[in-house]
Amino acid sequence: MRSYSLIAPAKINLYLEIIGDRPDGYHELAMVLQSISLADQIDIRSIGVENIVVRCDHPLVPENESNIAYRAASLMSKQFPDVFAQYGGVEITIHKHIPVAAGLAGGSANAAAVLVGLDLMWGLGLTRGELQELGAQLGSDVPFCVGGGTALATGRGEVLSPLPNLDDIYLVLAKYRKLSISTPWAYKTYRRKFGHTYVTDTEGQENSGQRVHSEPMISAIANHNHREIGKLLHNDLEKIALPEYPQLLKLREAFASENVLGAMMSGSGPTVFALTESQSQAEQVKAAVKAKISDPDLEFWIAQFNSSGISIAD
Ligand code: C5P
């Protein structure tokens, strides 16, 4: 085929613990990541000239080589130059539905879709592991976005262990349109404020990363105990974002006071989400929080947990 349309789901964090500094300048993390049904659509097609073209009509998404989707195509063209020359370039069209700079890995999901799409279009037959290795060169969340579902992520986020599916949980997400948080800023500020708590020796870091396997969140997921999952939501980066942006704390509290399993900020924010047992409950929570915080800048989405990562659109 000369073209493919792919679905690229967003992710939320159910758990994000910062363990320490890594020699490569990143942070050693222990995270539980979850794909959700809120997704972008990525269309890729071969074009006549040996070139990479990115199109997106969202004002905050660049159409040049700084776009991570462009970088994904560029990486593939360098890894497989003969195939790239044979197919003669690629045009990538991003239909944006995932909010940008929101803590939902929208850019990483787009990059993962380009890797999967080019593998299919160029008939490379790469394994999931090979695609994830390429993804790790583009960003810490890209390997997870390839396979999606529910997973424990350690290292800088690229070491993945799959967890059981939770696709009967729903959620309502909310984000202030005009508020975005830079991920490097969030981690840098965390280091400045909490660096003294970091586990410093490599062995200690690995042990801490391993220990999370037995953490209560993992057992709650294994037992499909939705109430426990809601109670055990944890994100160290809330300690940075919530004091800096009091409106996020208010939003989180507004969600938490409703009939929800739990509420939290995702990743480095600023999206806040609440988990519910059903879609109708999610709709009710959305209506209640909308009535409580009547700010036209606040945007809402309803979604469901998703058991897969990148897939081909129907
Ligand atoms: O890997 P990615 O490009 O998505 O990371 C964005 C930024 O988040 C990094 O530049 C770094 O500042 C921070 N980060 C980190 N440790 C991680 C993942 C991300 O410090 N494990």
Q: What is the pLDDT of residue 161?
A: 95
Of these residues, 40, 119, 141, 236, which one is catalytic?
141
| 16 touches ligand 1 (CB under 6 Å) | no
Confidence of residue 269 (pLDDT cuts 50, 70, 90): very high
| The two three-digit tokens of residue 222, written as one number | 């294994």
Mean pLDDT, residues 202-228 taken together? 80
Look up residue 65 and give its two tokens: 């080589």
Of the chain, the percentage scoring pLDDT greater than 70 comes to 96
41: left (phi over 0), alpha (psi -120 to 50) or beta: beta
Here the tokens at position 17 are: 């613990």
78 is known as an active-site residue? no
Q: Is 314 a catalytic residue?
A: no
Rounded to the nearest integer, the mean pLDDT of the chain is: 94
207 or 89, which is more confident? Answer: 89
Check whether 246 has a pLDDT greater than 60: yes
Q: Provide the residue type at 23 as one letter.
A: P
- pLDDT the model gives residue 209: 62
Mean pLDDT for the stretch of residues 14-20:
94
Tell which wins on pLDDT, 136 or 195: 136
Q: Class assignment of domain 170-304?
A: alpha beta
Q: Identify the pLDDT of residue 215.
A: 83
CA nearest neighbour of 274 among 228, 233, 222: 233
pLDDT, tens digit (0-9, with 9 covering 90-100), for 1-12: 689 999 999 999
Give CA separation, 61 vs 18, 56, 65, 110, 298, in Å: 28, 7, 11, 11, 20
- The mean pLDDT of 131-154, rounded to a whole number, is 97
The CA-based dihedral angle spanning residues 212, 215, 218, 220, taken in that order and rounded to the nearest 10 degrees: -170
Q: Is the CB of 20 under 6 A from ligand 1?
A: no
pTM (predicted TM-score):
0.95
Confidence of residue 157 (pLDDT cuts 50, 70, 90): very high
Q: Is 51:43 a contact under the CB 8 Å cutoff? A: no
DSSP string of 164-220, one letter each residue: ---TT-EEEEEEETT----HHHHHHHHHHHHGGG---SHHHHHHHHHHGGGSHHHHH
Task: Look at the chain and count its residues.
Answer: 314
Q: Is the CB of 268 under 6 A from ligand 1?
A: no
Q: How far is the CA of 269 from the centre of ligand 1 (A)?
A: 13
CA trace torsion 33, 35, 36, 40 (10° rounding): 120
Token match 């969340």: residue? 141
- What are 30-76's pLDDT values in tens digits? 999 999 999 999 999 999 787 999 999 999 999 999 999 999 999 99
**Cα distance between residue 30 and residue 238, in whole Å:** 15
Q: Is 300 in the pocket of ligand 1 (CB under 6 A)?
A: no
Scored b (16 or more CB within 10 A) or e, 83-103 reads: ebeebebbbbbbbbebbebbb
SS3 254: helix
Percentage of the residues of the chain whose pLDDT score is greater than 90: 88
- Residue-level pLDDT at 94: 98
Q: Whose CA is nearest to atom 7 of ligand 1?
A: 184
Q: Which residue lies with its CA nearest to atom 20 of ligand 1?
A: 26
- Least confident interval from 148-152, 180-184, 264-268: 180-184
Residue range 158-176, pLDDT digits in tens:
999 999 999 899 999 999 9
How would CATH label the architecture of 3-164?
A: 2-Layer Sandwich (3.30)
For residue 213, what pLDDT is reported?
A: 56
Per-domain residue ranges of the chain: 3-164, 170-304
**What is the per-residue pLDDT for 91?**
96
Mean pLDDT of the region 285-313: 97
pLDDT at residue 212 in the model: 64
